[in-house]
A and B are shown apart, each in its own frame.
Chain A
Amino acid sequence: MAITRAEVLHVARLARLALTEEEIARFQEQLSAILEAVGKVDELDLSGVEPTAHPLELSNVWGADEPRPSIDVEEALANAPDREGSYFRVPPA
């Protein structure tokens, strides 16, 4: 279940992580070992088994369509790394 360097790079791109060369090499090795260990689940024949997404079997939990106060704009922006007026500002998308 070894993971290739190309796969490490692909996954890092999907996850938006700019890995250093050292990290790429180390993660390739470590992820290969971990995948080897967790890949064990594939040994089991579970064709007739339903997946468990959730430990409790709940359904239909929702809230009424009744507005509650929003937070203050200044509070919304209080943690913003950068802003322009009442907008969050980011580099060009």
Chain B
Amino acid sequence: MIDTLRLTAKEANALLTGGELSSDELFAAYRAAIDERDPDLNCFLHVCDESPGAGIPIALKDVIGTKGIPTTAGSKILEGYLPVYDATVTERCQARGLRTIGKTNMDEFAMGSSTENSAFGPTRNPWDPSRVPGGSSGGSTAAVAAGLAPWALGSDTGGSVKQPAALCGVVGLRPTYGTVSRYGIIAFASSLDQVGPVTKTVADCAFLYSVIAGRDPCDTTTVDLPHPVEIPEAEDLRGLRVGVPRELNEAEGIEPGVTESVQAAIELCRELGAEVGECELPRSVEYGLPCYYLIAPSEASSNLARYDGVRFGLRVSPDGIRAMYEETRDEGFGDEPKRRIMLGTYALSAGYYEAYYGQAQKVRTVIRQEFAAALERFDVLVSPTSPTVAFPLGAKTENPLAMYLSDVLAIPPNMAGLPGLSIPCGLSEGLPVGLQLIGPQFSENVLFRAGHALEQALAFDVVPPRLA
């Protein structure tokens, strides 16, 4: 019997290339793990019984289009929808032999930070099933943490890979905007959406990033990587300048246990030879979240207009076209998408555009400039990924604003299109704490190098004790 709990993607692949195991046997092992553990966790919305390819399995967030395999984005409005085409990242994974093992649970249309906004029930955190896995890619991060897939893809608009990776104790990358194709990814907020790897190790993360990254003619906002992805090997941080932005590390609401783990990791950076210094992001943290909650809902209100019951998905059909739209959308969308559609529609409507959307786009410029200035002095900026560890289910569902604050530290670099890597850096109250590493655009190799060196030194055990 294969212990999928500990197996990294690299190790799983080595089993195949070494001839110790067939691809089918490996697939079956993960299928067995899913059958055993997923009833309690609800990581998957759809599990594949078979899947083409000769390589290792991969789990895909249900926002990623898979031809002929149900793809719902966690929404009732897409229940039963079967894509007629594959997302570019799906194709790229398949081209490398990766086998789709299933589609993972998520907050509906990627809107949420706990995976409780799924129309198909919440996912539970493998470290403590009474707690959330974070979100919106909580299904992907919980699946990797629970050994239900060697790795997975998630998507990150305002922290949706980084934050659940932190809460589940796995590695998550939000790539530089424009390096991974969005073609076939169910859109939430187009100027922010980005697909990212969820893995057990930084090396796996770098490898999976190399599989999915690069210009796609179907997505005109993508570019080729300026340099090839390097699988990290360095064990030290010599020559690296690490910046500690005060506002990202001292924001209100950061739990003491989180600060403690992150401080220890920063200390470790020094020990590994990095030059560590403080810096400021005066307005990025304070205005990042408001900026995000104007831009993302505005784009979402437009992106979600296509769910109208005409060509696919749910239709509630009373008399007349207008009633069909209104009833279909009222019944098909859950609370959070409705809230954001309302917010975005309001922010874009006549008389409000300049004060809201227009102003938020200017704030985005300010945030870009602040990060650019800090990243002139430092190669990498570090902070907690999430202000808290995994919180109990239901703790924030009644208070949208409290939920939104879960991403207060993950959002600011996203607004500037910067890459962010979250690695587990310790435990607080027995739950994983995530360290966020931020770099300039296209600096993934630097993040991988730093993340890998820290990972080796931290020797964090990614297996939740209760499953071990």
Contact = CB atoms under 8 A, between A and B. Distances in A.
The answer on direct contact between A and B (beta carbons under 8 Å) is yes
A90 interface: yes
A6 interface: no
B191 A41 contact: no
B363 interface: yes
A16 to B, nearest CB: 4
Interface string A22-61: 0100010011011101111110101001111111101001
B460 interface: no
A90 B366 CA distance: 46
Interface residues of A, number: 53
B207 interface: no
Given A16-B326, A41-B360, A56 B368 contact: no
B335 to A, nearest CB: 8
A86 interface: no
A91 B324 contact: yes
B362 A46 contact: yes
Chain B facing A: main interface SS: helix
A15 B345 contact: yes
B291 interface: yes
Given A19-B330, A52-B365, A91 B191 contact: no
A80 interface: yes
B287 A40 contact: yes
B294 interface: yes
B310 to A, nearest CB: 6
Interface string A58-93: 100111000000010001101111100000101111
B322 interface: yes
Nearest to A3: B346
Interface in A4-22: 7-8, 10-12, 14-20
Interface residues of B, number: 69
The residue in B81, B315, B368 that gathers the most chain A C-beta atoms within 10 A of its C-beta is B315
A18 B294 contact: no
B290 A63 contact: no
A33 B315 CA distance: 32
B319 A91 contact: yes
A64 B308 CA distance: 31
Interface stretch (B41-49, B336-344, B385-393): B336-344
A81 B346 contact: no
Contacts of B289: 37-38
B326 A18 contact: yes
B254 interface: no
12 contacts: A11-B346, A17-B342, A31-B343, A42-B356, A46-B362, A46-B365, A46-B366, A58-B223, A78-B84, A79-B311, A81-B312, A91-B318
